[in-house]
Structure 1
Amino acid sequence: MVTNAPIAARRAHIRTHHGDQFEDPYEWLREKDSPEVIAHIEAENAHTDEQTAHLAPLRETLFQEIKARVLETDLSVPTRRGDWWYYGRTEEGSQYGIQCRAAATADDWTPPNLAPGLAVPGEQILLDSNVEASGHDFFSLGSFAVSDDATKLLWSTDFTGDERYTVHVRDLSTGTVLSDEIPNTGGAFFTPDGTGILYTTLDDSWRPDTLWLHRLGTATDSDVQLFHEPDERFWLGAGITRSRRYLVIGVGSSITSEEYLVDLEGEITAQPRLVWARNEGVEYSIDHAIIDGEDRLFILHNQDALDFELVSVAASDPQGERRVVIAHQPGRRLLGMDAFRDFATVEYRRDGLEQVGLLDYATDAVEELAFEEPLYSAGVGGNPEWHAPFLRLGYTSFVTPGTVYDLDLTTRDLLLRKRQPVLGGYDPAHYDQARAWATASDGTRVPISMVWKRSFGEPGDEPRAVHLYGYGSYEHSIDPGFSVARLSELDRGIIFAVAHVRGGGEMGRGWYEDGKMLNKRNTFTDFVACAEHLIEAGVTTANKMVAEGGSAGGLLMGAVANLAPSSFAGILASVPFVDPLTSILDPELPLTVIEWDEWGNPLHNADVYEYMKSYSPYENVRDGAPYPRILAMTSLNDTRVLYVEPAKWVQRLREAGASDVLMKCEMVAGHGGVSGRYNSWKERAFELAWLLDTLGVS
């Protein structure tokens, strides 16, 4: 039985760049195929199991609480495409979803009110992921598409977590799985005529770099290459406009994009036509509409428009005259637009919240949809048809479960189609949410969102346990959203809070720019400022607060641990990016070159190297610092943040004297952790049990 924390051997390894030498004695843990490394990881898992064994009853309680609140046999709101209603459903006891469809009548656009657990008349099961996952420890469904003529299905599978998917095809009229099987794919979808598959493949760095055309019934070695992107900084993706007129091929880095069109009224193998030539630092996306009989392209871009503007150009001459449709407005970050036959939707962010508007083609006026809660998330989704009488919307908040609305485009009535059921008597009126503001060291006001259960009093009445979450990278926003698992915290009196730190996108593009590259430290100091604000406001105390972040948010956790170790009782770091400099220095690692636009290029720039070294969690662990309890969660097959980063970090923390540092590594999983809903609930119960124990909450 393991009684002491595993201590890895120190082995000489010197990393030298820009005249700087860094001794990295745990770099040997990178050898994933080494039996010694696997044995060490298994010893870490055994140690974690032993140290958390006393939490087993609490873990089971939390798992049962999550499970008891979920309607296990349930189904989604059907979405109409062509002559079919498509929906997904789950069954009690099954880990994965089942994708289905049922025939629609010609003029009926009101989704059928299907009852969970009851047989659906005329149901056709398209794909049962439980069958697909049978015999595998891990399963991930990638692409899922039905041909336009509704006769064929394609889907892709990953059984290891490495995000390289294999495409399969089924004839829906016979149920026969065709011989067409395509490995090593990113995304995949049918050609409009249903005779072929368009798919991307990945290079050795896990970068989608090539678009291919596969004709059904032919060998994959005869597939036609339609487009290749040689620049290692750029990803490639493709899709077909909702109008079904154009194939759009897009390439992009974190800061630059370029798009091409193939007119599907001609040959799909025709030379793609450039929309706008790539211009370093300019991002754009396009959609197609027919306005007054003319083919137009809408282009959402940030050229001389920090928070983006929307313009319209002739599809026949996209580099010609631009007509401004929605002018750039500082502080209103335009996020996206979707063109339909008679109108378009626009999504944007203002004052830290998502907004949805309807764009009138004739007047360019935007009609903003109104929602009542002070904090919420709203967006457009599930609208495959070019012309329909309803617009499908998604909505949620910290206290409102996931909700599906259909907006009646004639009456503007918002029709409730479904709200995520929460069993056990959940009443949103028993909970509340609010936003507070911290002040960063440079005077910037940083928003904090909070949710709590009213019966325990208001935040600040007396110090309470707080679970503070943060991310702060890639312009990714942590928007208000409901969580069933979170109720187990709130019902025990914990306040859940989100620090909307710079590097995210909550407050616009400038908010992102102020938290990346040589401004990255703002992300970390903002989080510390949020924690300090909650303490100073009497919401909590340092020994009653646990911080959490994952992936790039795990980098935030590692940096915060070094900056303010005594400000937290515990830190939960999921798939944490805690050895960023080592990773970003190695262009052979998956995704590294692409990441240079986010973090800088320390390989060729000494200033970036020095700056990253100044905040890298692994390299700045402080000997003798009063580190809190730390739990690092990782996965052996993660290709985005390699397991070796937390493995090395944990060793360095113990070496520095941190007394309670644990690592749990899933041996068959990827960046998103384990697969299957019950497995995911158990994993979250494991994390929450550790969190509650750290906070002293039973």
Structure 2
Amino acid sequence: MQKNKTLPDQRMIKKITPGLLLLGVALSCTNKEHKMESYKWPDAAAPVAAVNPFVRTLHGDTVTDNYYWMIDYFKKGKDSSKVVDYLTAENKYLDTMMSGTKTLQEDLFKELKGRVKEKDESVPVFRNGYFYYTRTEEGKQYAKYCRKKGSLEAKEEILLDMDEEAKGLPYYQAGGFTISPDNKMMAYGVDKVSRRQYVIHIKNLETGALFKDAIPNTQGDPVWALDNKTIFYTSKNEVTLLSEKIKKHQLNSDPKQDLTVYEEKDKSNYIGVGKSKSGKYIFIYSQATLSNELKMLDASTPDQPFKSFQPRQKDMLYEAFPLEDKFLILTNWKAKNFRLMECPLDKTGMENWKEVIPHRQDVLLEGVDEFKTHVVVTERKNGLTQLRVRTIGGPEYNIAFEEPTYTAMVGANPDYNSKTLRYIYASLTTPSSTYDYNMDTKAKKLMKQQEIVGGYNKEDYTSERLYATAKDGTKVPISLVYKKGLKKDGNAPLLLYAYGSYGSSTDPGFNSSRLSLLNRGFVYAIAHIRGGQEMGRQWYEDGKLMKKKNTFTDFIDCGQFLIDQKFTSKAHLYAQGGSAGGLLMGAIINIAPEMWHGIIAQVPFVDVINTMLDESIPLTTNEFDEWGNPKQKAAYDYMKSYSPYENIEKKAYPNMLVTTGLHDSQVQYFEPAKWVAKLRATKTDKNILLLKTDMDFGHGGASGRFDYLKDVALNYAFLFALEGINK
């Protein structure tokens, strides 16, 4: 179940920037060894998009949009083929302009892929008598989902071979794996288009055959009742992709006959369905940015109606966790940074809530993981995650982490009766590490650290946590990493990344692909700007709605701080962001275009006003509390004052690489396409502007574990061309 205190991060994408990926080889070269003369960009003519004026008048304000016609592929309008022709022309132009880096891109792909341990296996997770794990094979793009009964020495069962399932498909994504209580069946969702519209399949694990019940147009979140024949799931609107209904499916029945057990009337709410760790309860959640409601059902009585845990109230978020004799409730009711409450199992209304952990001004209470004898609370203080273990009826303590900047999170812990906590730890220099931690004895065991093919010495790199001062005096954290020996003379190239929306915190984790930057002399930095939640709930609220511009100015101030500290200079400073982070990229080039030598904007959300006015576009109505509703004049005026597409001017802009996906369901392709077309027609410089559209993929890019590295190689080749690095 999604954490209810933060809106599910709908405009975020996976793989937009190096994160906790497979790890890799540290090269021994330096930036100086890679230097060459500046890359010779081909003298090619950029595509010129057709001008077809569309007039928008709202609140007495008239705007002419010359490229509105690009929406026609999405709307199935008369100009659909012209849209595809334009995107194809842009792809050809990119190929021409980057043709001199073809060998470099191929070498980078081999370098990145060479760091991936091709034959690998996850740490097994125990649940209901079985150990579950995934494993990958050499040369294969996808994983096998497997289990063993009772012991790791038992015979392996392959529950789903995703390499076999994905054969012949440009995109394949499977998820939401859930096993029936009797361990005989598996339900899971499959997306073959990359629009996050999943078909739920049910597999007989005894025979290997699929049931005929293929349930279309879902969120891919099947939940079994305890009767082993009833499945609850989220049904989506086929056009807007809104999660609208929770339905109930009976095994061996026609999905068209499935009953609706809940229908969401408020289009600003996301809905979904989940199950408690104990397996006793099924929850429906309905959540907007600022309020939510849970409905619950005893999993042993699937034909009974769901009952409200606590009716929704304005500006109140809550989440419930059942223990043996009570519920724990994580809530922001009279507690901006959230507090922990409890109530009886049979009296769940807020009038029965009693405080367990009070609100603290300097600590954000982020999550709860419940066990039969322990509770693990995830907290965030000074921007860093802490894991706090509470023994039910006994002592409590924090698990210690030693590095100055790091990522820590609770891992997969499906066994409610376990006394062992599995958690994940990583940093900018420490590979992703899985630990099993005995909550009684405090003994921890490293179960797996992501292997770095060819070896890796963390002592060759330095990570730091610094603070920039924003223009209003706010201290903004920056996490950064670089190879030792760096001269802070302003000549090093630096890539600055941020997201800064939805209260989504960007934690600093290890990344093997990033080594290709660091070993060529780059500094990599993360700006923990407002709009995320690193420094508490207020940090998020100070970077949304009518305070959204703080996100942009924070990022610019972080860039200036890194210049002032001689980590880099304007001639070598680059910025990267994707999705809502792509909005950030669009805003900063309008506000301070002279600061950046190059920008990578991935699936950027840049046409804010037009998208938020069109309720047929996925996510629009869900996100009024994040961005505002432009049908209200105050919101319209503020959004228009920063929306990247609306604020393009006749001036010089930095070099830019923009990417999108034709089937993107989160940020539709036409936003970046229109943005690039308008930039081309308006800007006064001769800097590079490239647009790449994945014609087969959506928001997250390619689905295979190797294919997406081609996009990483393209991004890096673009940066290296601008820096004069040829290998």
Range into which the TM-score falls when normalised by the shorter chain:
over 0.9
Match of 1:448 among 472, 478, 483: 478
Quick one: which amino acid aligns to residue 56 of structure 1?
Answer: K
Q: Which residue of 1 aligns with 2:659?
A: 633
- Spell out, residue by residue over 1:45-72, the C-alpha distance to the aligned partner (whole angstroms, 9 max, x if none): 0000110111111111111111111111
CA distance in 2, matches of 1:2, 1:289: 67
**Is 1:217 the equivalent of 2:290?**
no
| Counterparts of 1:390 and 1:322, CA distance in 2 | 29
Give the secondary-structure state (helix, strand or coil) at the position aligned to 1:529. Answer: helix
Cα offsets for 1:90-145 (capped at 9, x unmatched): 1111111111111224xxxxxx5xxxxxxx75111111111111121111113211
1:72 alignment partner, SS class: coil
2:626 to 581, 584, 598: 598
2:45 partner letter: N
Shift of 1:456: 3.1
The farther-off stretch of 315-324 and 126-135 is: 315-324
Partner in structure 1 of residue 35 of structure 2: none
After the TM superposition, which residues 385-534 of structure 1 pair with which residues of structure 2 at under 5 Å, given as runs?
A: 385-457=415-487, 460-534=488-562
Equivalent residue for 2:94, pick from 41, 48, 59: 48
Aligned with 1:17 (options 58, 63, 67): 58
8 Å contact kept, 2:277–2:415: yes
TM-score normalised by structure 2 residue count = 0.91
| Alpha-carbon contact 1:73-1:89 (below 8 Å) kept | yes
**Counterpart selection for 1:609 from 616, 636, 641:** 636
Q: Does 1:163 align with 2:196?
A: yes
* Structure 2 residue identity aligned to 1:418: K
Q: Do 2:498 and 2:527's aligned partners in 1 also have CA atoms closer than 8 Å?
A: yes
Structure 1 residues 5 and 461 mapped into 2: Cα distance closer, same or farther (>3 Å)?
closer
Task: Give distance in 1, aligned partners of 2:256 and 2:495.
Answer: 52
Q: Partners of 1:176 and 1:6 in 2: how far apart?
A: 51
Q: CA deviation at 1:608?
A: 0.7
* 1: CA distance, partners of 2:189 / 2:398: 38
Find the counterpart in structure 2 of residue 185 from structure 1.
218
- Length, aligned pairs only: 675
Whether 1:643 and 2:669 are equivalent positions in the alignment is yes
Aligned 8 A contact 2:71 2:670 in 1: yes
Q: Deviations over 1:272-306 (max 9, x none)?
A: 1211111121111111001xxxx311111101111
Q: Secondary structure at the match of 1:77?
A: coil
Moved more, 140-149 or 250-259: 140-149
1:344 aligns with 2:364: no
Inter-partner Cα distance in structure 2 for 1:584 and 1:277? 28
* Whole-angstrom distance in 2 between the partners of 1:633 and 1:355: 36
Name the residue aligned to 1:246: 281
SS in 1 for 2:672: helix
Query: Is the alpha carbon distance of 1:259 and 1:121 closer, same or farther for their aligned partners in structure 2, counting shifts above 3 Å?
Result: closer
Q: Give deviations 1:459-505, integer Å, cap 9, x for gaps.
A: x3553110000110000011011111101001111000011111011
Per-residue deviation, residues 292-326 of structure 1 (Å, max 9, x unmatched): xxx31111110111100000011211113222111
Q: 1:356 pairs with 368, 387, 391, which one?
A: 387
CA distance in 1 between partners of 2:171 and 2:71 (Å): 23
- Alignment counterpart, residue 356 of structure 2, candidates 325, 328, 339: 325
Distance of 1:619 and 1:211 partners within structure 2: 38
- The reply to whether residue 147 of structure 1 matches residue 180 of structure 2 is yes
1:259 pairs with one of 294, 303, 310: 294
Q: Distance in 2 between matches of 1:530 and 1:462?
A: 15
Amino acid at match of 1:640: Q
* 1:417 partner amino acid: M
1:663 aligned residue: 691
1:440 is displaced (CA, Å) by 0.9
**What letter matches 2:608 in structure 1?**
P
Task: Confirm or deny: 8 A CA contact 1:543 1:695 kept in the other structure.
Answer: no
- The aligned counterpart of 1:696 is 724
- The partner residue of 2:122 within 67, 76, 81 is 76
Letter in 1 for 2:222: A
| Equivalent position SS for 2:69 | helix
What's the counterpart of residue 115 of structure 1?
none
User: Which stretch of structure 1 is more off in the superposition, 658-667 or 469-478?
Assistant: 658-667
Please tell me whether the aligned partners of residues 2 and 47 of structure 1 are also in contact (alpha carbons under 8 angstroms).
Answer: no
Q: Which amino acid aligns with 1:128?
A: D
The equivalent residue for 1:116 is: none
The separation in 2 between residues aligned to 1:206 and 1:366, in whole angstroms, is 43
Offset of residue 697 of structure 1: 3.2
Residue identity opposite 1:323 in structure 2? K
Q: Is the 8 A contact 1:2 1:50 kept in 2?
A: no
Q: Sequence identity of aligned pairs in percent?
A: 39
Q: Which runs of 5+ in 1 are unaligned?
A: 106-111, 113-119
Distance in 2 separating the partners of 1:414 and 1:61: 40
Superposition RMSD in Å: 1.4
Residue-by-residue CA offset, 1:572-616 (whole Å, 9 max, x unaligned): 00000011111011122111011101011111x101101111101
**Conserved in 2, the CA contact under 8 Å of 1:546 and 1:695?**
no
The answer on whether the counterparts of 2:223 and 2:273 sit within 8 Å (CA) in structure 1 is: no
Q: Which residue in the other structure is 1:545 paired with?
A: 573
Q: Secondary structure of 2:87's match?
A: helix
> By how many angstroms is 1:240 displaced?
1.3
Contact in 2 for aligned 1:170/1:178 (Cα 8 Å)? yes
1:626 is displaced (CA, Å) by 2.1
Q: Does 1:27 align with 2:68?
A: yes
Q: 2:446 and 2:157 mapped to 1: Cα distance? A: 26
Aligned-partner Cα distance in 1 for 2:707–2:495: 23
Residue 4 in structure 1 maps to residue 72 in structure 2: no
Please state if 1:59 is matched with 2:124. Answer: no
Matched AA of 1:685: A
More displaced stretch, 548-557 vs 396-405: 396-405
TM superposition score normalised by structure 1: 0.95
Find runs of 4+ consecutive structure 1 residues off by over 4 angstroms: none
Q: Of the candidates 133, 138, 158, which is equivalent to residue 92 of structure 1?
A: 138
C-alpha distance in structure 1 between counterparts of 2:376 and 2:722, whole Å = 45
In the alignment, the residues of structure 2 paired with residue 287 and residue 389 of structure 1 have an alpha-carbon distance, to the nearest angstrom, of: 17
Q: Report deviation, 1:167.
A: 0.9
Contact 1:142 1:165 in 2 (8 A): no
Say if 1:636 and 1:643, in contact at 8 Å, map to a contact too. Answer: yes
2:160 match: 127
Contact 1:545 1:695 in 2 (8 A): no
CA distance in 2, matches of 1:534, 1:455: 17
Secondary structure in 2 aligned to 1:455? coil
- Counterpart for residue 117 of structure 1: none
Distance 1:2 1:273 in 2: 66
> 645, 649, 656: which one pairs with 1:622?
649
2:329 matched residue in structure 1: 299
Aligned to 2:414: 384
CA distance in 1, matches of 2:677, 2:257: 50
Q: Which amino acid aligns with 1:544?
A: H
What amino acid is aligned across from residue 602 of structure 1 in structure 2? P
Q: Which amino acid aligns with 2:225?
A: T
Q: Decide whether the 8 Å contact of 2:223 with 2:232 is kept in 1.
A: yes
Deviation at 1:221, TM superposition (A): 2.3
Which sections of structure 2, spanning at least 5 residues, go unmatched? Answer: 1-41
Contact preservation (8 Å) 2:389, 2:439? no
Q: Could you tell me how far 1:193 is from its partner in structure 2?
A: 2.8
Aligned match of 2:15: none
Aligned equivalent of 2:27: none
What's the offset of the Cα at 1:192?
A: 2.5
